[in-house]
Structure 1
Amino acid sequence: MPSSPQPVSPRWKGLLAALSLALAGFIWLSGLIDSLSRPSVAPALSLQQQELTLLAEPAVPPPLREALLGEAPREALRKALEGISAEERTERQQQMFLLLEGQGSVSADLERGGDDPLLQQLQCEAGAADPTLCIDAAAAGQAAFRLALSTVLPLVTALLGGLLLLGQAWRLLRGRLMAWPDVQGPELTLVDMALLVAGGFVVISAVGVPLVAFPLVGALTAGLGSPRREAVSVVINYGVMALPSLLILWRQVRSLPRERAPLGGWMQWRVRPLFSALRDAMTGWLMVTPVVMLTGWLLVRLVGDPGGSNPLLELVLGSRDPLALGLLALTAVVLAPLFEETIFRGALLPVLATKLGPLPGVLLSGLLFAMAHISVGELAPLMVLGVGLGLVRLRSGRLWPSVLMHGLWNAVTFLNLLLL
Structure 2
Amino acid sequence: MSPSSHRQAPVPSWKVLLGALSLLVAALIWMSGLVNSLSRPSVAPSLNLQQQEVQLLAEPALPDALASVLLGGEDPRTTLLGSLEPIPAADRSWRQAQLLMLLKGELTSESTIAVAGDPLLEQLLCEARGGVRDDCINLAVARGAALRLAVSATLPLVTTVMGTALLLVQGWRIWRGRRESWPDLMGPNLTLLDMALLVAGGFVVISAVGVPLLVVPLVTRLTAALDSPRREAVGVVINYSAMALPSLLILRRQLASLPEETVPYGGWLQWRWQPLPGACLTALVGWFKVTPIVVFTGWLLVRLFGDPGGSNPLLEMVLESRDPLALSLLALTAVVLAPLFEEVIFRGTLLPVLARRTGRGTGVVLSGLLFGMAHISIGELAPLTVLGIGLALVRCASGRLFPCVLMHSLWNAVTFVNLLLL
**TM category, shorter:** over 0.9
- The structure 1 residue matched to 2:327, chosen from 301, 325, 328, is 325
Correspondence for 1:92:
95
Post-superposition offset of 1:85: 1.5
Equivalent position of 1:313 in the other structure:
315
2:187 — aligned with what? 185
1:28 aligns with 2:33: no
Equivalent residue number for residue 226 of structure 2: 224
CA distance in 2 between partners of 1:117 and 1:141 (Å): 12
Q: 2:294 aligns with which of 277, 289, 292?
A: 292
The residue number in structure 1 matching 2:141 is: 139
Match of 2:82 in 1: 79
Q: Which moved more, 1:355-364 or 1:212-221?
A: 212-221
Q: Which residue of 2 aligns with 1:109?
A: 114
1:352-371 deviations in Å (ceiling 9; x for gaps): 11111111101000000010
Unaligned runs of 5+ in 2: 1-8
Amino acid at match of 2:328: G
- Deviation, structure 1 residue 10: 3.1
CA distance in 2, matches of 1:12, 1:229: 42
Q: CA shift at 1:9, angstroms?
A: 4.1
Alignment of 1:337-376 (within 5 A): 337-376=339-378
Give the whole-Å Cα distance in 1 for the aligned partners of 2:112 and 2:119.
14
Q: 2:168 aligns with which of 159, 166, 169?
A: 166
Q: Which moved more, 1:281-290 or 1:65-74?
A: 65-74
Q: State the distance in 1 between where 2:359 and 2:11 align.
A: 28
Q: Which whole-Å CA distance do the structure 1 matches of 2:10 and 2:216 have between them?
A: 32
**Gapped runs of 5+ residues in structure 1?**
1-6
1:317-349 Cα shifts (integer Å, max 9, x gaps): 111111111111101000000000000000000
Q: Distance in 2 between matches of 1:341 and 1:161?
A: 22
Paired with 2:332 and 2:216, the residues of 1 have a C-alpha distance of 20
**RMSD (Å), alpha carbons:** 1.2
**CA offsets per residue over residues 271-313 of structure 1, 9 Å max, x none?**
0010110011000101111111101100110000000111111
Counterpart CA distance in 1 for 2:94 and 2:210 is: 39
Q: Distance in 2 between matches of 1:206 and 1:291?
A: 31
Quote the Cα distance in structure 2 between the aligned partners of 1:338 and 1:21.
24
SS at match of 1:109: coil
Deviation readout 1:61-87 (Å, 9 max, x if unpaired): 011111111111111111001121122
Q: Which moved more, 1:279-288 or 1:219-228?
A: 219-228
Q: What's the CA shift for 1:130?
A: 3.1
Change (3 A) 1:225 1:256: same
Between the aligned residues of both structures, percent identity stands at 66
Counterpart residue type for residue 107 of structure 1: T
1:379–1:287: structure 2 CA closer, same or farther, 3 Å change rule? same
Q: Is residue 95–residue 104 contact of structure 1 (8 Å, CA) maintained in 2?
A: no
Q: Contact 2:187/2:268 (CA < 8 Å) preserved in 1?
A: yes
CA distance in 1, matches of 2:154, 2:226: 38
Q: CA deviation at 1:128?
A: 3.2
State the alpha-carbon separation in 1 of the partners of residues 286 and 408 from structure 2. Answer: 10
Contact 2:34 2:376 (C-alpha < 8 Å) held by counterparts:
yes
Which of 233, 248, 253 aligns to 1:251? It is: 253
For residues 407 and 177 of structure 2, what CA distance do their matches in structure 1 show?
A: 27
Indicate the residue corresponding to 1:4 in structure 2. Answer: none
| Equivalent of residue 41 in structure 1, options 14, 18, 43 | 43
Specify the code of the residue in structure 2 equivalent to 1:120.
E
1:208·1:240 contact (CA, 8 Å) conserved in 2? no
Distance verdict in 2 for CA 1:9–1:97, change over 3 Å: same
Deviations 1:226-276 (A, max 9, x none): 111111111111111001100110011111111111110011011001011
Distance between the aligned counterparts of 1:257 and 1:153, measured in 2? 48
